[in-house]
């Protein structure tokens, strides 16, 4: 099933972003490319915030966040309360992020996973539905922390 997917990366991951975006388009998805598009140094939070905003405003159902490690951009995306970004490195974690946590964004580290593993993670993420049931109660708590 085709989806509208937002994708964003910093300079360390722009090549991986381009490859994944092209692959998604070839598979029939509508891709919203939020940059960056070159090796010039940029700040990953700026791109994580853009991605979070796109998800929150309904511009895309799912998001893919990429930086060197995937950590920084994932933190930036998760600053938006509408987002549940999970850092993944293999397909099982991508599946569990969707099925148990209703993640709507996955983050990948371009320095840690290659293009084929990134595509395998994205493919599993998009193919997995949220299980709901007992997981819904837990996901609801993510939006309303009891500090």
pLDDT per residue, tens digit, the chain (147 aa), is 789 999 999 999 999 999 999 999 999 999 999 999 999 999 999 999 999 999 999 999 999 999 999 999 999 999 999 999 999 999 999 999 999 999 999 999 999 999 999 999 999 999 999 877 777 777 777 777 666
Phi then psi for 115, rounded to 5 degrees?
A: -60, -40
**Known binder of ligand: residue 71?**
yes
Q: Which tokens sit at 97?
A: 């992020």
What is the number of other CB atoms lying within 10 angstroms of the CB of residue 139? 15
Measured distance CA(129)–CA(76) in Å, rounded: 24
- Give me the CATH number covering residue 53: 3.40.1400.10
Helix (H, G, I), strand (E, B) or coil at 94: helix
Q: Considering the entire predicted model, what is its pTM? A: 0.94
Domain hosting 105: range is 4-143
Q: State the DSSP H helix or E strand holding residue 9, giving kind and residue range, or none if neither.
A: strand 4-9
Catalytic residues: 67, 100
**Known binder of ligand: residue 11?**
yes
Q: How many domains does one find in the chain?
A: 1
**Known binder of ligand: residue 29?**
no
């Amino acid at each position: 099933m085709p989806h509208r997917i937002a994708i964003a990366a910093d300079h360390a991951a722009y090549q991986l972003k381009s490859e994944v975006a092209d692959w998604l388009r070839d598979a029939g998805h509508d891709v919203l490319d939020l940059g960056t598009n070159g090796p010039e140094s940029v700040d990953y939070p700026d791109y994580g915030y853009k991605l979070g905003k796109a998800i929150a405003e309904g511009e895309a159902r799912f998001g893919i966040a990429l930086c060197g490690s995937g950590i920084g951009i994932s933190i930036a995306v998760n600053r938006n309360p509408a987002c549940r970004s999970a850092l993944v490195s293999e397909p099982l974690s991508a599946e569990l992020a969707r099925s148990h946590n209703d993640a709507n964004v996955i983050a990948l580290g371009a320095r840690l996973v290659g293009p084929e593993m990134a595509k395998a993670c994205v493919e599993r993420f998009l193919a997995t539905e949220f299980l709901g049931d007992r997981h819904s109660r837990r996901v609801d708590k993510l939006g309303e922390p009891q500090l």
